[in-house]
A and B are shown apart, each in its own frame.
Chain A
């Protein structure tokens, strides 16, 4: 179980630039992992490869005993929808939809918006956005937008949460509240959380820190 990465290589362009070189990882279910390193170290790329958004040049990624690099695209989209949550540095909220519609967007894929609505409302309340339920993203502050984005990633009750610099564009107070949420997900709800950050303080909050330099894991 968990996420097992074997001998992952990733290179771009011709001549190939190696971004990830021979990375093997074993992440247990419920673990809170932080990926750190300088910019250009390949931490974001590793996150995307682990989360199926990007394909490795070679190597394999197994999630819950299934090789996601071999999955058919239908299976993969369903897996992503049901089992994975994503938080990015940018919130990627859809400007034309209200807060609640944005949160329910993953549920709409398989027509589950009615079933998921109580959970969506619960998340809004938990994140202090209860009064903003029908607001549009542009009517929210930066911190509120990011919390909304996290709520969206949690609405399907994923087992795996992938966060790419989730605090990157937030001030300290908002960043801390985001970190609290992520910690909660891991500790209280048993989610596997993998977070890319370059902030050493936040990195320390994880169960395990993985440091990358020049596409390799450094101990």
Chain B
């Protein structure tokens, strides 16, 4: 029957081409739009995943609620308690309790690539008359470089320069500009009400993200000293071998210790919901295109079934059964669908490759050419093919079934 189906298709080239174009454009659009969105999302995820730790183990800091302390003061079932003023602030510890047990646990876990204990403190940086408040992060630079990509963004000096100790500091580009500091200059750093400590600037980094570029890095012992909290750390950043396991691992670790444990996904919930909306939009748009293409096939096949009633009659009389007739018309739709899908996938791929070469985004250190990020994953192509073939199948099976129901006698009696 495929043979005859092909003859039918070739006999009305223009209609065949038009329906094929519908499927073709739908598939191409799916591949390109999906590649664009998935590529962009993947790029952001990579940025989030690589620039920071994938799992954060932080000192527990629960926020106090208005009635959060009622039980502690007034017994197990307090009623009608009014605070003036209501309790506020955080409850818990400012440091990670018993970090040694965490180190042991992380060293033993095969899924962990690297980890880095850090202490961050809100510090005031002074240079001459200028003072700027910024975050000062104490870390072991060798460990930190394994957990984050910070060392890739060094514009001057090396990230490991702070490891030798002796009050050395690396400043973000933004912070450096605000302070008007230069390399090897000494800035005064103070935390809280503690007396200022001199630090020498030995490096500058620029990531392109303003928040990150307003940070400063020092060695962990130096920062602990400035903060007057020797041996304290308030966060352990963890890098995993497979970042997609972050959520799961964070959940399981949370049961082991009182620390607050968050994955990179937990810390970027807003971006995840934006991705979800983008994906919903993408699918609804493409499905609309494919439904339109499906209607095209449906219409033309219905017309063909009507035009070919006499052929159906004689085929039935010659011993072709219902299934043969259904296949005769179904395969026409499917052939168009398959050709359109294959061409669409190829064309989509070519367009994606072309889009990759366009300088479209603002340039940044991580993307020096400003190229668009287009995903070329197999999943997109499989999804596109599945959707296109599904819509063409549904669009073809309905007219094909109605053709299968025609009996030869009805057609012959009506004189064709």
A residues contacting B by CB (< 8 A) are 44, 48, 53-54, 73-74, 77-82, 84, 86, 88, 90, 92-97, 105-106, 108-109, 152, 164
**B415 lies within 8 A of chain A by Cβ:** yes
Given A53-B408, A94-B314, are A77 and B4 also a contact pair (CB < 8 Å)? no
* Residue B416, interface by CB 8 Å: yes
Residue in A closest to B3 when the chains form the complex, CB atoms: A108
Does B248 lie at the interface of the complex (its beta carbon under 8 Å from any beta carbon of A)?
no
State the 5 A-B residue pairs at the shortest beta-carbon distance, nearest first.
Answer: A81-B319, A92-B314, A96-B7, A80-B319, A106-B318
Known contacts A90-B415, A95-B11; A109 and B314 CB within 8 A of each other: no
Determine the distance from Cα of A84 to Cα of B408 in the docked complex, in whole angstroms. Answer: 15
Q: Which residues of B contact A152 (CB under 8 A)?
A: 318
Q: Would you call B8 an interface residue if the criterion is a C-beta within 8 Å of the partner chain's C-beta atoms?
A: yes
Q: What is the chain A residue whose CB lies nearest that of B307? A: A95
User: Which residues of B are found within 8 Å of A54, using beta-carbon distances?
Assistant: 409
Known contacts A73-B321, A81-B318, A105-B318; is-contact A96 B4 (Cβ 8 Å): yes
Residue B303 lies at the interface, judged by CB distance under 8 Å to chain A: no
Specify which chain A residues have a CB less than 8 angstroms from the CB of B416 in the assembled complex.
90, 92
Can you list 22 A-B contacts (CB < 8 A)? A44-B413, A48-B412, A53-B316, A53-B317, A73-B322, A77-B320, A78-B319, A80-B317, A82-B319, A86-B314, A88-B412, A90-B415, A92-B314, A92-B416, A93-B314, A94-B314, A96-B7, A96-B11, A97-B4, A105-B314, A106-B318, A164-B412
List chain A residues, Cβ under 8 A from B415: 90
A54-B409, A90-B310, A94-B311 are known contacts. Are A109 and B7 too (CB-CB below 8 A)? no
Task: Mark B residues whose CB is within 8 Å of A.
Answer: 3-4, 7-8, 10-11, 310-311, 313-322, 324, 407-409, 412-413, 415-416
A77, A94, A97: the one contacting B319 at CB < 8 Å is: A77
Residues of B within 8 A of A105 (CB): 314-315, 318
Cα of A90 to Cα of B414 in the assembled complex, Å:
12
A81-B319, A90-B310, A92-B317 known; 17 new pairs, CB 8 Å cut-off, are A48-B409, A53-B408, A53-B409, A73-B321, A77-B321, A81-B320, A82-B319, A86-B317, A86-B318, A90-B415, A90-B416, A92-B314, A92-B416, A94-B4, A94-B314, A96-B11, A109-B320
Chain B proximity of A17: nearest CB distance (Å): 14
In angstroms, Cα B324 to Cα A78, docked, is 13
Cα separation A106 to B320 with both chains bound (whole Å): 8
How far in angstroms is the closest Cβ of chain B from A136?
10
From residue A144, how far is it (CB to closest CB) to chain B in Å? 17
For A109, what are the chain B residues with a Cβ–Cβ distance below 8 Å?
A: 318-320, 324
Q: Which residue of chain A lies nearest to B324 when distances are taken between CB atoms in the complex?
A: A109
In the bound complex, CA of A82 to CA of B319 (Å): 8
Residues of B within 8 A of A80 (CB): 317-319
The reply to whether B319 and A92 contact each other, CB–CB distance below 8 Å, is no
Q: Please, which residue of chain A has its CB at the minimum distance from the CB of B319? A: A81
- How far is it, in angstroms, between the C-alpha of A95 and the C-alpha of B412 when the chains are bound? 17
Most buried by A among B3, B4, B409, B413: B409
